[in-house]
Amino acid sequence: MDIRKIKKLIELLEESGIAEIEIKEGEESVRISRMPTGSAMLHALPQIAAAPVPAPTAPAAEAPKARPNEHVVTAPMVGTFYASPTPGAKSFVEIGDEIKVGQVLCIIEAMKMMNQIEADRAGRITSIMARNGDPVEYGQPLFVIE
């Protein structure tokens, strides 16, 4: 399957909001999902994968115990953490900021795609546990909201 077709499928997936798509062309197939799974998504196209993709770790094993009034926001995917929209720009959030549901907290770059990570609860940022440019794992704690 042509890499341009795969890129186009990824774009269509992003534009449409569909969570997952699987295409078969003869004996070749590709499955693209916006939701992380327990296995690497590139197993159907080994010639494209330049390096092995690590399997996600269990979020419960990595997330610290939150106090009753705290909520831990974890990484929904493996990628690179970015605190701001562009290099040198102001961070999306800082410790002490009051946030709303749906507010962008950071960006995680995965496979050259920039994924905005939004707050799933309103509150105040009490801790930021990743630094700009750090690699993050699935389930890794990123923010604590009180």
Domain that holds residue 104: 59-145
Instruction: Please check whether residue 51 lies inside any domain of the structure.
Output: no
Contacts 24+ apart (CB under 8 A), 108-115: 108/75, 108/76, 108/77, 108/79, 108/80, 108/81, 108/82, 108/136, 109/79, 109/80, 109/82, 110/77, 110/78, 110/79, 110/80, 111/79, 113/10, 113/14, 114/82, 115/76, 115/77, 115/79
Instruction: Please check whether residue 133 lies inside any domain of the structure.
Output: yes
Q: What is the mean pLDDT of each run of 10 residues along the chain (146 residues)?
A: 76 73 78 59 43 49 60 93 90 93 92 90 93 92 93
For residue 112, the model assigns a pLDDT of 85
Task: Say yes or no: 81 and 10 in one domain.
Answer: no
pLDDT, tens only, 28-64: 777 777 665 444 444 444 444 444 555 555 444 444 4
Task: Say yes or no: 68 and 28 in one domain.
Answer: no
Instruction: Please check whether residue 49 lies inside any domain of the structure.
Output: no
Task: Say yes or no: 67 and 119 in one domain.
Answer: yes
Instruction: Please check whether residue 54 lies inside any domain of the structure.
Output: no
Task: Say yes or no: 40 and 104 in one domain.
Answer: no
Indicate whether this model's pTM tops 0.85.
no
For residue 32, the model assigns a pLDDT of 77
Instruction: Please check whether residue 50 lies inside any domain of the structure.
Output: no
Task: Say yes or no: 35 and 76 in one domain.
Answer: no
For residue 11, the model assigns a pLDDT of 78
